[in-house]
Amino acid sequence: MDLFDYSSEQKNTSSGPLASRMRPRSIEEFIGQDHIIGEGKLLRRAIQADQLTPMIFFGPPGTGKTTLARIIANTTSAHFEQLNAVTSGVGDIRRLSSEAKERVKLDDRRTVLFIDEIHRFNKSQQDALLPYVEDGTVVLIGATTESPMFEINKALLSRSRLFRFEHLTEETIKQVLLQAINDDVRGYGKYSVQIEDEALSHIVDVANGDARTALNALELAVLTTSPDENGKLVITLAIAEESIQQRVLQYDKDSDNHYDTISAFIKSIRGSDADATLYWLAKMIYAGEDPRFIARRLYVHAAEDIGLADPNALLVAHAASYSVEFLGMPEARIPLAEAALYLATAPKSNAVIKGIDSALEAVKKEKTGTVPVHLRDSHYKGAKELGHGIDYKYPHDYPGGYVPQQYLPDHMIRKSFYKPTERGHERTVQKRMDYFNERIKSENKKS
């Protein structure tokens, strides 16, 4: 298999990209992910004992998923095969599985199948893989940057152990870079590279937990820097800034990170945290999120979590939505931020959504109510002869613009759906409703 072929590995060690050359070759060299591969952890013990079971590695890019697969390839006694889900199909799965069956018959040797970017396999491809995983023909190791809960079918998930890879810590990224600078064989140990503390910190910070990004930046910095009069390659902050100019955000509009971020944004608004609200909004804008999507979420939140506690919230959200179409980006970032801050600092109430949902539930589960005769339309031909509209009391004809009368169907007359809170404008709404209820009670006593 090409990727894990020994000669190719040797070539990459001496002449490949720095990120490839510096890949750990053994489990002892592997840095980070101590929660799954640290001393005594299940995965480490399984690798060392060569007792592998189907597993899925998932997490952000540059956190060691493929590297750990390479380590397994170098240590397992099983035959190791690799597929990339982007370029492979059902035919490849069947071919490798057939070869794996023959290998068991002839050599009594297992086959470990590593599938990179396994989330790229569609349902039919995953279904084709399932029988061979289920009967043990292959031991599956899948790697994905997406949430396996969404991208991998349940049958494969139920037969695999999940291992989450986290962003590498800043200390780990720093350790990776210093190893590359000091390694005489695979890194730059022979080149007298000196990196300023500020430069190192900048690369570590902007790499955002991605070792590959950090090593690529270091490589570019070294290759574009000339030795000084003492023969040293000095990496300054200015060089580091040019080598890694923009922070890499792990944000794909079709991925779980997209949904996690918008969830954090809405929950920050709901939790009335203005700073967190701006942070998540900025992340989405920076990552190129569709501003119309953000505006729609603000619109929904204004009605769902603020409601009549501040009726202006819906108007502000509408104005922000209009600004996206009228102004476009980047100017619309300001109205979006204003709307987000308004919602974050507004009083909160979900009484409206509770009210409409409970009313819908009543309509769904209880018998259909008959419209009271006095509320029925009296304008069409023959309606008055049927008594429609008779005895209807026109509220504007009464003091205060209100008069008690029945509006609900007979079987719903004691139902209450909307229950205002004591927050914001709903406090005033509750006072009005209390007044209306007292008037109704008073009329009932008279009758």
Architecture of domain 256-345: Up-down Bundle (1.20)
CATH number of 369-446: 1.10.3710
Say which residue, 318 or 421, is predicted with more confidence: 318
Number of neighbouring beta carbons within 10 Å of residue 78? 19
Q: Could you give the C-alpha distances from 195 to 141, 174, 229, in angstroms and in order? A: 38, 11, 16
Structure confidence at residue 250 (pLDDT):
57
Highest mean pLDDT among 147-161, 264-278, 284-298: 264-278
Beta bridge partner(s), residue 143 = 57, 116
Name the residue with tokens 């000091």: 182
Mean pLDDT of 288-300: 90
The full set of domain ranges for the chain reads: 32-164, 170-243, 256-345, 369-446
Q: What is the CA radius of gyration of the chain?
A: 32
Q: What percent of the chain has pLDDT over 90?
A: 43
Share of the chain above pLDDT 70, in %: 94
What CATH number does domain 170-243 carry, 1.10.8.60, 3.20.20.140, 1.10.260.40, 3.30.470.10?
1.10.8.60
Q: pLDDT confidence of 167, banded at 50, 70, 90?
A: confident
* Alpha-carbon span 148 to 158, nearest angstrom: 11
More confident site: 368 or 18: 18
Look at phi and psi of residue 287 and say left if phi exceeds 0, alpha if psi is from -120 to 50, else beta: alpha
Confidence check: pLDDT of 146 > 90: no
Tens of pLDDT, residues 78-98: 899 999 888 888 888 999 999
Q: For 354-378, what is the mean pLDDT?
A: 84
Residues 6 or more apart in contact with residue 34 via CB below 8 angstroms: 41
Query: Among residues 129, 95, 102, which one has the least CA distance to residue 115?
Result: 129
Q: Rank 319-333, 356-370, 425-439 by mean pLDDT and report only the highest.
A: 319-333
Per-residue pLDDT at 442: 76
Q: Is the pLDDT of residue 365 over 70?
A: yes
The answer to whether the beta carbons of residues 165 and 142 sit under 8 Å apart is no
What is the number of other CB atoms lying within 10 angstroms of the CB of residue 436? 12
pLDDT tens string 123-139: 888 988 999 998 888 99
Is residue 288 very low, low, confident or very high in pLDDT (cuts 50, 70, 90)? Answer: confident
Q: How many other CB atoms are found less than 10 A from the CB of residue 50?
A: 13
CATH superfamily membership of 32-164: P-loop containing nucleotide triphosphate hydrolases (3.40.50.300)
Q: What are phi and psi of 140, to 5 degrees?
A: -80, 135
Sheet bearing 55-58, strands edge to edge: 79-84, 111-116, 139-144, 55-58, 161-164
Using the Cα atoms of residue 215, residue 219, residue 220 and residue 225 in order, give the sign of their dihedral. positive
Beta pairing partners, 163: 57
DSSP string, 83-135: EETTT--HHHHHHHHHHHHHHHHHH---EEEEEETGGGS-HHHHHHHHHHHHT
pLDDT at 3: 43
Is the pLDDT reported for residue 251 higher than 60? no
With 0-12 CB in 10 A as exposed, 13-18 as middle and 19+ as buried, what is 222?
Answer: buried
Are 411 and 367 in contact by the 8 Å Cβ rule? The answer is: yes
Residue matched to tokens 């991208």:
151
User: How would residue 375 be classed by pLDDT, with cut points 50, 70 and 90?
Assistant: confident
Q: Beta strand pairing status for 111-116 and 79-84?
A: parallel
The predicted model gives 344-365 an average pLDDT of 89
**Closest among 47, 52, 10 to 30, alpha carbons compared:** 47
User: Rounded mean pLDDT of 229-252?
Assistant: 79
Give SS3 for 164.
strand
Query: Residue 436 phi/psi, 5° resolution?
Result: -60, -45
pLDDT value of position 6: 42
Model confidence at 4, pLDDT cuts 50, 70, 90, reads: very low
Contact 233, 194 (CB under 8 A): yes
The residue among 178, 234, 174, 251 whose CA lies nearest residue 206 is: 174
Among candidates 26, 7, 133, 144, which has minimal Cα distance to 76?
26
Q: What is the pLDDT of residue 259?
A: 81
| pLDDT tens string 259-278 | 888 899 999 999 999 999 99
